[in-house]
């Protein structure tokens, strides 16, 4: 049993300086031994309070029996209870400067009651039974210049109707499903405790506790452990930009604007009605640094995907009224420096740990080093690619020649950041329709479009992300209270088969992932045939002799002997054809291979080496070159 202690002078100093990365070790509730007896130590930051008491199951919820002691001028209050035990529910009763009493959940709670209840709970220990040592030691092979294909999941929806203990049952069902699909990573939408399920976790009240609506902390740790033991990394959505304003949470925590700005222009988000963290306040920075550290170090999370970065780094984000920074600019300097600190810290905590930015603007150097003025993220979501590509696929192919640049424009900036190509939950909610609904045509054509979209995406430079249900062409818009369609139709099952094969081919083909963020691994072969809605590009990397050619026909017409210029003579192997009957297509193709020929003099590629490829309508074909030794 751990020996309990009060906060040290060093703890209080680092916390007050905004540099404490492990604040949960002296704040919150901790069970252990104190003066030879079992006890629980409580700590809370409430500098504007007249007094603070711990109330809970162990003292009849009477504030008179749990008065806490202030620690100098730090604003930290502490108390040790020899009556409290693991499992007990508690809160802090805070006497505000005006003399009112308010009851608050613990900001550093490691366990909570399941909503709609709002109490914090004492946990015995965070020493979980990990068996993922090999994964943790070898993790650098999964992040960086390596295959990264991500399956994005809302756990409550995926497990809807299965069991309330979703962490426990997801060990079998979700882990098995993600492994069958062949994804390298799973991304969990926020699982930190949040009062309103409809916020999907993006408006939280706890930054250290996995939601009790799906199970216990040990069960969540076991889920992460199970993913790792199957060779699947876990990315966790983390929301340091804003938080819920529910009365029991962080908002006006000690009667003052403690975690947020007092001024509503800076302190309340106009779109979501949530409270914005005061990134300049040092104790708030310690809180957020500690939260990031906590998930990486205590729950073995492989990466944090930081939500809504643009709303953090711009003071005028979605505002007509805003307050400039000290230099008169629109950048939120406190938020920027905090993100730089987090992104510097995370890779140092555990081998291969990383951060992802969901950032929707052209803010420079998002994934470049802090040393040269960058934000320091490992990856950035490529929102421009996503919007342009989905818009192109929504058009009738007859008119696509007028929107040809929607496909080609992205390569002008594709290597400016370390990009992830996201087809995420954001694109299939709030009356935007499912990916299936966004595609042009009848049912067969929509599925053909999805097949070609996914094959195009998996060959395109950048890591991959697909939201649950999209792998099977779910036809209805996602709703968090409904389980996703995981393949109820024959075409949906065949589309899912394609996604699985794409992941397998992707992991086994270095040309598709090495050099993702360098322009020398990509070259256009066909870029200007707008009348045919046809594109072709090659992926190649040093040390791997073969070239992977991706050819796309986004028109409704089959094309035979379509000449694609190449530089390698011989027989090219057709390694993927989305029009295969196996995937729900019409079964047209190249019978497994294509031989090079020389273009006729009258053709635009006259005298050049070409591949005369059969391109079925609405299809993408992958061809692998012979080696130079053949």
Transcribe 530-596 into DSSP letters: GGGTEEEEEEEETTEEEEEEEEEE-SSS-EEEEEEE-S--SEEEEEEETT-GGGTS---S-TTEEE-
Helix, strand and coil content of the chain, in percent to the nearest 5, comes to 30, 25, 45
- To which residue do tokens 């947020």 refer? 260
| pLDDT attached to residue 324 | 94
Q: Which ranges in 483-538 belong to alpha helices (H)?
A: 490-508
542-570 pLDDT, tens digit each: 888 899 999 999 999 999 999 999 989 99
The H-assigned helical ranges of 50-185 are 133-138, 155-158, 166-170, 173-181
Averaged pLDDT, 233-251: 97
User: What is the per-residue pLDDT across 444-489, written as a single tens digit (0 to 9) for each?
Assistant: 999 999 999 999 999 999 999 999 999 999 999 999 989 999 999 9
What's the pLDDT tens digit per position in 44-59? 999 999 999 999 999 9
CATH 3.20.20.80 location in the chain: 152-512
The dihedral built from the CA positions of residue 326, 328, 334 and 339, taken in this order, carries a sign that is negative
Contact 225, 128 (CB under 8 A): yes
Edge-to-edge strand ranges of the sheet holding 571-577: 522-529, 534-541, 544-553, 619-624, 571-577, 593-595
Average pLDDT over residues 74-80: 97
Which residues are annotated as catalytic? 307, 358
Q: Supply the CATH classification number for the domain 522-624.
A: 2.60.40.1180
pLDDT class of 434 with cuts at 50, 70, 90: very high
Contact 53, 64 (CB under 8 A): yes
How many CB atoms lie under 10 A from the CB of residue 376? 24
Mean pLDDT, the chain, whole residue set: 94
Rg of the chain in Å (alpha carbons)? 27
pLDDT by residue (tens digit) across 582-610? Answer: 999 999 999 999 999 987 665 555 568 99
The answer, yes or no, to whether residue 144 has pLDDT greater than 80, is no
Residue range(s) in the chain whose domain bears CATH number 2.60.40.10: 9-121
Q: Per DSSP, what are the bridge partners of residue 150?
A: 185, 465
Cis check for the bond before 476: say yes or no (omega within 30 of 0).
no
How much is the pLDDT for 601? 63
> Any idea which architecture 9-121 has in CATH?
Sandwich (2.60)
CATH 2.60.40.1180 domain locations along the chain? 522-624
The C-alpha atoms of residue 459 and residue 548 are separated, in whole angstroms, by 9
> How far apart are alpha carbons 332 and 267 in whole angstroms?
13
CB 541 within 8 A of CB 521: yes
Q: Using one digit for the tens of pLDDT, what is the confidence trace for 209-226? A: 999 999 999 999 999 999
- Give residue-wise pLDDT tens across range 297-339: 999 999 999 999 999 999 999 998 999 999 999 999 999 999 9
Task: List Cα–Cα distances, 137 to 134, 187, 304, in angstroms.
Answer: 5, 21, 19
pLDDT at 77 over 60: yes
Residues 6+ apart with CB under 8 A from 521: 461, 511, 514, 515, 539, 540, 541
Does residue 416 contact residue 405 with C-beta atoms inside 8 Å?
A: no
* Distance separating alpha carbons of residues 592 and 574, to the nearest angstrom: 5
| Residues 103, 95: Cα–Cα separation, whole Å | 9
Topology (CATH) of 152-512: TIM Barrel (3.20.20)
């Amino acid at each position: 049993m751990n020996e309990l202690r009060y906060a040290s002078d060093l703890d209080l100093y680092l916390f007050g300086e905004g540099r404490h990365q492990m604040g949960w070790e002296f704040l919150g509730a901790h069970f252990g031994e104190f003066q030879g007896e079992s006890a629980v130590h409580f700590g809370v930051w409430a500098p504007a309070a007249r007094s603070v008491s711990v109330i809970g199951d162990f003292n009849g919820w009477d504030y008179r029996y749990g008065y806490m002691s202030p620690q100098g001028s730090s604003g930290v209050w502490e108390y040790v209870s020899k009556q409290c035990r693991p499992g007990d529910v508690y809160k802090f009763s805070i006497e505000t400067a005006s003399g009112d009493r308010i009851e608050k959940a613990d900001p550093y709670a490691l366990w909570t009651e399941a909503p709609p209840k709002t109490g914090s709970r004492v946990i015995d220990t965070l020493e979980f039974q990990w068996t993922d040592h090999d994964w943790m030691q070898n993790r650098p092979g999964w992040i960086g210049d390596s295959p990264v294909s991500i399956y994005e999941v809302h756990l409550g929806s995926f497990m809807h109707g299965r069991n309330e203990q979703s962490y426990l049952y997801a060990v079998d069902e979700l882990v098995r499903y993600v492994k069958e699909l062949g994804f390298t990573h799973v991304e969990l939408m926020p699982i930190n405790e949040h009062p309103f399920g409809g916020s999907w976790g993006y408006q939280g009240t706890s930054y250290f506790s996995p939601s009790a609506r799906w199970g216990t902390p040990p069960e969540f740790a076991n889920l992460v452990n199970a993913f790792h033991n199957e060779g699947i990394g876990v990315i966790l959505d983390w929301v340091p930009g804003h938080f819920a304003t529910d009365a029991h949470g962080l908002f006006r925590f000690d009667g003052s604007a403690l975690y947020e700005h007092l001024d509503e222009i800076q302190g309340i988000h106009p779109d979501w009605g949530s409270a914005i963290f005061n990134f300049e306040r040092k104790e708030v920075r310690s809180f957020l640094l500690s939260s990031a550290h906590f998930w990486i170090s205590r729950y073995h999370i492989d990466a944090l995907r930081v939500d809504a970065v643009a709303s953090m780094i711009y003071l005028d984000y979605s505002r007509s009224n805003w307050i400039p920074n000290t230099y008169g600019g629109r950048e939120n300097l406190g938020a920027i420096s905090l993100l730089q600190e987090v992104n510097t810290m995370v890779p140092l905590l555990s081998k291969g740990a990383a951060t992802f930015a969901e950032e929707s603007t052209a803010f420079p150097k998002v994934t470049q080093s802090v040393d040269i003025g960058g934000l320091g993220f490992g990856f950035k979501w490529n929102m421009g690619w996503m919007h342009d590509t989905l818009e192109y696929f929504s058009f009738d192919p007859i008119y696509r020649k007028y929107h040809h640049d929607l496909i080609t424009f992205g390569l002008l900036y594709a290597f400016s950041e370390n990009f992830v190509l996201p087809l995420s939950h954001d694109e299939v909610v709030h009356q935007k329709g499912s990916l299936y609904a966004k595609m042009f045509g009848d049912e067969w054509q929509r599925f053909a479009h999805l097949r070609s979209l996914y094959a195009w995406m998996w060959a395109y430079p950048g890591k991959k992300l697909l939201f649950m249900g999209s792998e099977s062409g779910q036809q209805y818009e996602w709703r968090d209270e409904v389980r996703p369609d995981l393949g109820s139709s024959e075409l949906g099952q065949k589309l899912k088969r394609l996604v699985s094969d794409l992941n397998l081919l992707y992991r086994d083909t270095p040309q598709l992932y090495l050099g993702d963020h360098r322009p020398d691994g990509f070259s256009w072969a066909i870029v200007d045939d707008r009348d045919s809605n046809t594109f072709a590009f090659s992926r190649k990397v040093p040390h791997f002799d073969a070239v992977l050619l991706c050819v796309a026909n986004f028109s409704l017409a089959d094309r035979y002997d379509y000449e694609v210029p190449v530089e390698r003579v011989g027989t090219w192997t057709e390694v993927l054809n989305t029009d295969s009957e196996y995937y729900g297509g019409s079964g047209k193709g190249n019978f497994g291979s294509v031989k090079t020929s020389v273009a006729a003099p009258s053709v635009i590629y006259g005298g050049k080496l070409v591949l005369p490829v059969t391109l079925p309508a609405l299809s993408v074909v992958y061809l692998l070159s012979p080696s130079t030794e053949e």
